[in-house]
C-alpha cells in the first residue's frame, strides 16, 4: 500500500515481487531491519539486484568504509536526501568518524587533507557534469589516491546519486519516522 509520505510502495518480503524477495531477505539477515529505500527499490527486482551487486562490489574495493561514508554523506547532502543523510550519518559514526568530520563530509570536506582532496574532486565532478578541472584530479593523485581508488570513488558517487534520486523522487520517509520502519522476519 502507498502511504502519504512515499510515492512508491515500500515493500517487505511479503509484498515484494518474487524477484526481489531473496535480496530483501539477505538484507534482513545482515542488518535485521529493512531500510525504507530498499523496500521501495524492491518494486523493481532488476533495480534492486543491480543496486545490491554494485554496492557489494564497492564494499570489497580499495576504498575504506570511512571514505565511502564520507562520499555517501556528501552526495546525500548534495541531493538533499534526508533518508540518506540520516542513515549515512549513523553509518559514518559507526565507521569511526567524529561529529565534526560527519558535518565536514556533508560539505565535501574533511580535516584530513587526503580525504579533502578526493572530496573536492568529486564535488567538482558533480558540479561540472563530469568535467572537473584537471588540477583537482592531480591534487587527488598527489594526495595519495591512485587510479583504482579514484575510479571507485566515482562509482560510489554514481551509486549514492542513484540512491538519493530514488529517495527524493519517491519522497521516501526517513527510517524510523512516523511511518514506522518495518522489522521483518527472515524466513
pLDDT digits (tens, 9 = 90+) for 143-165: 999 999 999 999 999 999 999 99
3-state secondary structure (DSSP) of residue 159:
helix
**Residue 4, pLDDT above cutoff 60:** no
**Cα–Cα dist 17/24, whole Å:** 11
pLDDT digits (tens, 9 = 90+) for 50-96: 999 999 999 999 999 999 999 999 999 999 999 999 999 999 999 99
Range in 38-42, 79-83, 173-177 the model is least confident about: 173-177
Q: What is the pLDDT of residue 182?
A: 37
**Residue 10, pLDDT above cutoff 60:** yes
Angle, CA of 168, 172 and 175, to the nearest 5°: 125
Q: Which residues contact 141 (CB under 8 A, 6 or more apart)?
A: 150
Please state the domain extents for the chain. Answer: 65-167
Contact 1, 43 (CB under 8 A): no
Fold topology of 65-167: AhpD-like (1.20.1290)
**Cα–Cα dist 96/102, whole Å:** 10
Residue percentage of the chain with pLDDT more than 70: 90
Predicted TM-score (pTM) of the model is 0.86
**Cα–Cα dist 23/16, whole Å:** 10
Q: Which residues contact 60 (CB under 8 A, 6 or more apart)?
A: none
Q: What is the pLDDT of residue 87?
A: 92
Amino acid at each position: 500500500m502507498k502511504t502519504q509520505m512515499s510515492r512508491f510502495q515500500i515493500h517487505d518480503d511479503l509484498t515484494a515481487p518474487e524477484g526481489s524477495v531473496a535480496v530483501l531477505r539477505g538484507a534482513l539477515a545482515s542488518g535485521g531491519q529493512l531500510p525504507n529505500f530498499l523496500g521501495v527499490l524492491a518494486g523493481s527486482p532488476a533495480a534492486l539486484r543491480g543496486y545490491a551487486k554494485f554496492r557489494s562490489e564497492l564494499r570489497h574495493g580499495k576504498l575504506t568504509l570511512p571514505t565511502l561514508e564520507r562520499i555517501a554523506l556528501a552526495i546525500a547532502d548534495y541531493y538533499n536526501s534526508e533518508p540518506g543523510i540520516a542513515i549515512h550519518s549513523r553509518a559514518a559514526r559507526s565507521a569511526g568518524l567524529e561529529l565534526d568530520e560527519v558535518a565536514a563530509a556533508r560539505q565535501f570536506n574533511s580535516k584530513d587533507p587526503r580525504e579533502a582532496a578526493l572530496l573536492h574532486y568529486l564535488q567538482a565532478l558533480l558540479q561540472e557534469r563530469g568535467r572537473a578541472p584537471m588540477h583537482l584530479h592531480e591534487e587527488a593523485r598527489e594526495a595519495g589516491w591512485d587510479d583504482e581508488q579514484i575510479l571507485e570513488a566515482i562509482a560510489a558517487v554514481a551509486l549514492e546519486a542513484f540512491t538519493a534520486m530514488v529517495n527524493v523522487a519517491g519522497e521516501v520517509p526517513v527510517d524510523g519516522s512516523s511511518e514506522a520502519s518495518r522489522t521483518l522476519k527472515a524466513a
